[in-house]
Structure 1
């Protein structure tokens, strides 16, 4: 069966004469250009399993429902398209370099690019609004899926072995600035890129985020990503590794978002792990001066950046042990062994005074001078570790990290 593009346009312009079910054509070859730009038809248009030799043009058109399932065509041009209910491109095959150009669409129902949908070129839905779901399960996108500044009501579903690659200078999946009132689900998707695979910058997810990392082959950008509750389908360890090794650069916000989610869930141990891992990433990739990097390292080793203040007590105990060892081994302090231990604790431990009144240091001998010099240094270290413990325990180090 053949039908011209001009005949379809004529029928849709004269939509009042159509059955309430609209125009339905199945398995036809559309000859000539199908140009429905600026056509306003309050009827459904159903072209199932049809083939078009030239690009299908729907720019600024308006339909009650649009079903192009199984369409075979070079491309679909649909800037400013309005559909009151659903847009269906399930199983469609589009072969041009720019397969779908659908900026600023308004879809009152859901949009389906699933069930065998194939696009050899770019698919762009940026700036569009979809009241229901954007379903891409089982679709194949060979040159990127661009969903910048999209507004979606119920959710975006990239699942069921959906495969996305390419993207040129941009990410293979680019959702920068998108807002999803419901779920963002990337379960079962495979996204591949030699550079950036996934761009989720400034994406707002109103409900759950399902983001397993095993299907992402390439880097990711997560700055500004926010979501409700705990992210699903990845463990805390997987998140720590992904943020540290698979993002383009250090950014505090993704770490803070993850920590906030676990804080709200009452997972205090995981919150500390996330915060410590964030500080390691800051030291490795953040913009710190040489001295800032050194001080950052000291904070991490001594008090875990304020999240493990007990480490400072371990270091303090080590200083006291070294002080006792120096005094006992050097032979520069004259008194009993018990009094020598008390003397070592006196000179090194902040605010700790043991009975060592009868101990004297032979300052004229090399051993005595060694004791004096080492205990002064150890006293400084002991005070430093005690101060760091207090600062870490009270949260001062965390506020200044």
Structure 2
């Protein structure tokens, strides 16, 4: 069966003469270009299982419903297309020799957009600025970028009223300077589901910068091949399908650079769930990443290292107590082994604790320090150890009170 693109346009322009069910064409070969740009038709258009050798043009057109399921075409251009209900491209095969396979910037879909059931596109699927009232279904879709940008799915500032499914065998392969899936600035009122999806690029696989997910984020990491950009990503509740250890590894090693916000978002999610042990692990890992990749001066990096090994940046204040115990043990060792402190062994221990302990004093008897080089060494060492003991005691108190304030 054959039908011309001009005949389809004529019928849709004269939509008032159509049945309320609209125009339905199945299994046809469309001869000539199907150009429906600027057509305003208050009827459904169904072109199911159709083929064409030329791009389909739908710019600024308006339909009650549009079904292009299993369409075979080089590309579909649909900038600012408006569909009152659903837009279906399930199982369609778009093979473009240019940059875009589906160029649908600023489309408006009142219902759901279906790019599922093995929808296949060679060339970028662009949905920049799209507004989808219900769900974006990309389950099982196979997308591959083409041309300079090379993104497989390019949907900056997308707004979806319910959920986005990039799952169930979804595959996106990036081939250029943009991420394989780039949905920076998207707002998703429901879930973002990446379960059983595959995202691949030699550089950035996923660009989720400033994406707002209204409810849950389901994002396992085993299908992500490449870096992930997460600055500004927000979600509700705990992210699912990945462990805390996997998140720590991802944020530390698979993001382009250090950014505070993804760490804070993850820590806040676990704090809200009452997982305080995981919160401390996340905060400590964040500080390690800051020291390794953050914009710190040389002295700032040194002080950051000291804070980390002494009190775990305030999240492990007990470390300072261990350092304090080490200082006291070293003081006892110097005093008892030097031979320069004259008193009994028990009194020597008391003397060592007296000179090194910041807060607690014990009876040291009548110990005297011999006026010798060994005695001078003992005096100098214990002064230094007392300074260190005070420092570790202060760090412990500061870290402990700070931790109490954070948990209050």
TM range (shorter): over 0.9
Matches within 5 A, 1:293-312: 293-312=301-320
Q: Aligned residues, how many?
A: 398
Counterpart residue number, 1:157:
165
- Compute the displacement of 1:396 (Å): 8.2
Matches within 5 A, 1:13-162: 13-96=13-96, 97=98, 98-143=100-145, 144-162=152-170
Matches within 5 A, 1:228-247: 228-247=236-255
Secondary structure of the structure 2 residue equivalent to 1:193: strand
Quick check: 2:60–2:78 contact (8 Å CA) kept in 1?
Answer: yes
- Compute the displacement of 1:73 (Å): 0.5
Question: Gaps spanning 5+ residues in structure 1: where?
Answer: none
Quick check: 2:136–2:160 contact (8 Å CA) kept in 1?
Answer: yes
Secondary structure of the structure 1 residue equivalent to 2:199: strand
Quick check: 2:154–2:182 contact (8 Å CA) kept in 1?
Answer: yes
Quick check: 1:306–1:397 contact (8 Å CA) kept in 2?
Answer: no
- Report the TM-score when normalising by structure 2: 0.96
Secondary structure of the structure 2 residue equivalent to 1:238: helix
Counterpart residue number, 1:379:
386
Quick check: 2:312–2:319 contact (8 Å CA) kept in 1?
Answer: yes
Q: Distance in 2 between matches of 1:215 and 1:367?
A: 65
- Compute the displacement of 1:301 (Å): 0.2
Is 1:348 paired with 2:356? Answer: yes
Q: 2:396 aligns with which of 362, 386, 389?
A: 389
Which is worse superposed, 163-172 or 280-289?
A: 163-172
Which contiguous aligned blocks of 4+ residues in structure 1 show a shift greater than 3 angstroms? Answer: 396-399
Deviations 1:46-85 (A, max 9, x none): 0001001110000000000000000000100000000000
Q: Distance in 1 between matches of 2:43 and 2:184?
A: 34
Counterpart residue number, 2:183:
175
Secondary structure of the structure 1 residue equivalent to 2:385: helix
Q: Distance in 1 between matches of 2:369 and 2:359?
A: 21
Q: Distance in 2 between matches of 1:111 and 1:37?
A: 19
- Compute the displacement of 1:327 (Å): 0.3
Q: Distance in 1 between matches of 2:339 and 2:242?
A: 59
Q: Distance in 2 between matches of 1:168 and 1:146?
A: 12
Secondary structure of the structure 2 residue equivalent to 1:120: strand
Distance 1:175 1:398, change over 3 A: farther
Is 1:6 paired with 2:6? Answer: yes
Q: Distance in 2 between matches of 1:233 and 1:354?
A: 56
- Compute the displacement of 1:357 (Å): 3.9
Quick check: 1:392–1:398 contact (8 Å CA) kept in 2?
Answer: no
Q: Distance in 2 between matches of 1:391 and 1:228?
A: 32
Q: 2:325 aligns with which of 300, 317, 320?
A: 317
Counterpart residue number, 1:201:
209
Q: Distance in 1 between matches of 2:127 and 2:235?
A: 22
Q: Distance in 1 between matches of 2:369 and 2:173?
A: 75
Quick check: 2:315–2:403 contact (8 Å CA) kept in 1?
Answer: no
- Compute the displacement of 1:223 (Å): 0.2
- Compute the displacement of 1:116 (Å): 1.1
Secondary structure of the structure 1 residue equivalent to 2:64: strand
Q: Distance in 2 between matches of 1:115 and 1:314?
A: 60
- Report the TM-score when normalising by structure 1: 0.98
**What is the root-mean-square deviation of aligned Cα atoms in Å?**
1.2
Secondary structure of the structure 2 residue equivalent to 1:355: coil
Quick check: 1:167–1:173 contact (8 Å CA) kept in 2?
Answer: no
- Compute the displacement of 1:369 (Å): 1.1
Q: Distance in 2 between matches of 1:145 and 1:296?
A: 40
Distance 1:258 1:396, change over 3 A: closer
Deviations 1:187-227 (A, max 9, x none): 01100000000000000000000000000000010000000
Is 1:252 paired with 2:257? Answer: no
Is 1:366 paired with 2:367? Answer: no
